[in-house]
Structure formats: structure tokens, C-alpha cells
């Protein structure tokens, strides 16, 4: 199967004996399994206050370590990694690899998308073609947040955005930047806000406030047909909700 192009992603190779230990101290997920076998891990960089900065994939393919970065955040990610590198033996090398994705039988040089089986696989360094798969619909159906839409730098918290369900955070790996706040949210508090799937009658632009009896209850984001992703305050999300002229309903299920 020829991979469909995955637009606006950049690949950076990782060289040096400290690659994984360096990343392990910075990101939300455990990257040590990549020292043993090929694979793909989804993870995030956080602020010291536990807020989301960026998400990306760390991969190993044919024993080569690499970063799969969203293009709009790539410069910021690399600046932060370079800032933290200090004396670690790590070298970053831009790679001219096309990034593809697809469903069904996986071709050579591809790895399963670690967030959910519903998103199939991602390929690296293979020719790609424009595709017909509705990836936005798959994201909405499976509650997968998107960089720059649901995932907002310096605002989002990864647990509210479903990172635990989507295998993007590990609670046994030890310290990393933002770990204390993330662990406290997991073990000592009950989430009062978060990413949910809602039904929408009508339409409203991404970012439209969701209202309940004159009070803001959340924000409407990606939509596919009459299904959408929304960020809600759970205590204000009971009863009739509106987003502009659209009617929004929520069944109470959380990320």
C-alpha cells in the first residue's frame, strides 16, 4: 500500500550515546523501549508548571533514532532540546524523509501509530501520494487531539487532553519537566475540565465558546458531521448547551 502524505511534519535524526537518557529526563513518556527495538512513541514537552508545550513522536526504524515533529512547532521544540542538551552526547541531524500514513496492511519502513490502532501506521522515507482518507473524522471519532487545534501551547494540560488514554504519558518513568504537576493531577485531584466528544446540531467555527445559561462551559473544536471534539468544564456542561447558533449535547463521557 502506498502511504498517504502526512503534511507539515519534519524528521530530525538523533545521534550519540546519550539520546534516550537525554530525552527521558525531558518528555512525558518512557522512551527507553526504543533502546531495545524499533517502534514509535508519542510524547510531549511540558512547562515546569505542567502545561503542554508541544507533542511529537520519538521513533526507531531500522535501528535509527529520530524525532517526528509537527512543522509549526519544530523550531520551538529544537530550540528547547538544544537548550537542555548541555553536555549530553546528542547530535541532531535534519533528515529528508517523507512522512506518510495509512490504514490496513503496513508497508516497509512503517510503524504503528502508538496513540490508537484506529490511526493505522506512519511511514518514513517512503514515496507518498495524496490520499482520500478522512483523517479528521478518524481523530474526532477516536478523541485524538490535534496540535494547534485542541492542543494549545502554554494552556493545555495533557491529562485533560486524553494523553493517558492515548499512551502519551507514563507514570512510572521517573522525573521529567512538569512531572510533579502531572502526577498530582493523576493521583490527588479529580479532573474538572477535559476533552470530550459531543454532538452538534448546526455548525460553528473552531474555537466557538460553548455556553450554558449565559455562562461559558467550554470551547468547540474539530468537527466531523454532527460529531465534534470540545473542551468542557464538567460542572457547567449539564443541560442545554450552545455554540453560536449550534446546539451541543454531551453524554458525560470523558477523555
pLDDT in tens, 16-59: 999 999 999 999 999 999 999 999 999 999 999 999 999 999 99
d(CA 149, CA 167): 19
- The CATH architecture annotation of domain 190-249 reads Beta Barrel (2.40)
Q: What is the pLDDT of residues 54-113, one digit of tens each?
A: 999 999 999 999 999 999 999 999 999 999 998 899 999 999 999 999 999 999 999 999
User: What sign has the CA pseudo-torsion 216, 217, 219, 220?
Assistant: negative
Domain with CATH 2.40.30 in the chain: 190-249
Nearest residue to 118 (alpha-carbon basis) of 147, 143, 150, 142: 142
What pLDDT is stored for residue 255 in this prediction? 62
d(CA 198, CA 231): 10
Domain with CATH 3.30.1360.120 in the chain: 4-141
What pLDDT is stored for residue 123 in this prediction? 98
Sheet holding 4-5, edge to edge: 4-5, 99-102, 121-124, 110-112
Q: What is the CATH number of domain 4-141?
A: 3.30.1360.120
What are the C-alpha distances in Å from 188 to residues 23, 182, 185, 191?
Answer: 27, 10, 6, 10
Confidence of residue 1 (pLDDT cuts 50, 70, 90): confident
What pLDDT is stored for residue 252 in this prediction? 82
Confidence of residue 203 (pLDDT cuts 50, 70, 90): confident
d(CA 149, CA 28): 20
User: Which residues are bridge partners to 246 per DSSP?
Assistant: 243
What are the C-alpha distances in Å from 175 to residues 44, 111, 149?
Answer: 14, 27, 28
Q: What is the pLDDT of residues 114-150, one digit of tens each?
A: 999 999 999 999 999 999 999 999 999 999 999 999 9
Q: Cβ distance 22 to 87 under 8 Å?
A: no
d(CA 51, CA 47): 5
**Rounded mean pLDDT, 243-251:** 94
Q: Is the pTM of this model over 0.85?
A: yes
The C-alpha cell at 181 is: 504537576
From the CB of residue 112, how many other CB atoms can be counted at a distance below 10 Å? 14
Amino acid at each position: 500500500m502506498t502511504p498517504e502524505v502526512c503534511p507539515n511534519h519534519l524528521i530530525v535524526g538523533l545521534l550519540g550515546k546519550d539520546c534516550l537518557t537525554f530525552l527521558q529526563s525531558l518528555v512525558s513518556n518512557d522512551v527507553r523501549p526504543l533502546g531495545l527495538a524499533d517502534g514509535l512513541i508519542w510524547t510531549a514537552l511540558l512547562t515546569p508548571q505542567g502545561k503542554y508545550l508541544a507533542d511529537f513522536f520519538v521513533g526507531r526504524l531500522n535501528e535509527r533514532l529520530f524525532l517526528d515533529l509537527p512543522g509549526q512547532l519544530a523550531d520551538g521544540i529544537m530550540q528547547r532540546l538544544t537548550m537542555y542538551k548541555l553536555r549530553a552526547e546528542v547530535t541532531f541531524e535534519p533528515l529528508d524523509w517523507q512522512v506518510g500514513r495509512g490504514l490496513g496492511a503496513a508497508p516497509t519502513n512503517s510503524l504503528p501509530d502508538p496513540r490508537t490502532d484506529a490511526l493505522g501506521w506512519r511511514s518514513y522515507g517512503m514515496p507518498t501520494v495524496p490520499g482520500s482518507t478522512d483523517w479528521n473524522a478518524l481523530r474526532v471519532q477516536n478523541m485524538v487531539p490535534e496540535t494547534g487545534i485542541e492542543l494549545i501551547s502554554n494552556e493545555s494540560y495533557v491529562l485533560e487532553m486524553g494523553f493517558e488514554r492515548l499512551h502519551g504519558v507514563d507514570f512510572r518513568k521517573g522525573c521529567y519537566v512538569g512531572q510533579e504537576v502531572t502526577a498530582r493531577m493523576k493521583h490527588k485531584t479529580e479532573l474538572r475540565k477535559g476533552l470530550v466528544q459531543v454532538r452538534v446540531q448546526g455548525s460553528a467555527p473552531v474555537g466557538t465558546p460553548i455556553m450554558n445559561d449565559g455562562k461559558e462551559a467550554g470551547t468547540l473544536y474539530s468537527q466531523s458531521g454532527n460529531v465534534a471534539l470540545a473542551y468542557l468544564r464538567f460542572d457547567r456542561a449539564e443541560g442545554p448547551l450552545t455554540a453560536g447558533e449550534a446546539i451541543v449535547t454531551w453524554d458525560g463521557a470523558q477523555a
